[in-house]
Amino acid sequence: MLFFVFLLNVIYLVVAISIHEFAHAFAADRLGDPTARVAGRLTLNPIAHIDPVGTILLPLGLLLLSGGSFAYGWGKPTPFDPYNLKNPRRDSAIISIAGPISNLLLAIAVSILIRFTPYVFAVFLTPLILTNIGLAIFNLIPVGPLDGQKIIFGLLPRDLAYEFQAIMNRYGMLILLFLIFPFFGGEAPIMSIITPPIRFLAGILIP
């Protein structure tokens, strides 16, 4: 049973990441940049979006460390060319936020579905809600390669945006690594950031 739960969480995470990256590609294509489509990323096929570290190694490691209770990760970055966008900073932010929004929309859709589903099936679908909420909230953190960093870059005044970008280019990944790995056997620092909004949304969406 424990192995089944573990496998189910892995499958749900891959599904959530695939939808997340597809949403980035779809938004970029709609905003006039065909880069992701040409690269074969405008698809829900998980193979096109798998990142060896972010989609496989990190989630599996976190699932093992947490006893299968939680994991987060990312897909292979969806490419886009800002020179193809009418308003590069604004449109980049739209492309970036499309991923988290897609996960929240899927969580809402599953939440509605399980209200009309027999309890035995609802039990297995509920983790899909948590996975998508968690992935959305995780990616909204404004550090490293996460979507939140690009969203903040698009929202800040121009000068501040480029200062912020320079800091993130230099230190973003280090900050992210510090946040996601548990130290001395304790809880990962990031959990204190993402747990409150995840619990809030879960309280609304899970019957």
Q: Say what the pLDDT of residue 1 is.
A: 63
Q: Rounded to whole angstroms, how far apart are CA atoms 7 and 168?
A: 34
For 4-34, the DSSP string reads HHHHHHHHHHHHHHHHHHHHHHHHHHHTT--
Q: Say what the pLDDT of residue 187 is.
A: 75
Q: Say what the pLDDT of residue 3 is.
A: 66
Q: Rounded to whole angstroms, how far apart are CA atoms 147 and 102?
A: 13
Query: Helix or strand or coil: residue 176?
Result: helix
Distances (CA, A) of 130 to 7, 21, 31, 110, 180: 15, 18, 30, 10, 18
Q: Say what the pLDDT of residue 77 is.
A: 87
pTM across the whole model: 0.89
**Exposure string over 108-133, b if 16+ CB within 10 A, otherwise e:** bebbeebeeeeeeebeeebbbbbbbb
pLDDT, one tens digit per residue, over 137-192 is: 999 999 978 999 999 999 999 899 999 999 999 999 899 888 877 766 667 788 88
For residue 75, the 8-state DSSP code is -
Q: Where in the sequence numbering do the catalytic residues fall? A: 21
The two structure tokens encoding residue 106 = 């899927």
Q: Say what the pLDDT of residue 51 is.
A: 85
Contact between 132 and 110 (Cβ < 8 Å): yes
Low-confidence ranges of the chain (pLDDT < 50): none
The domain limits of the chain are 2-205
Q: Say what the pLDDT of residue 65 is.
A: 67
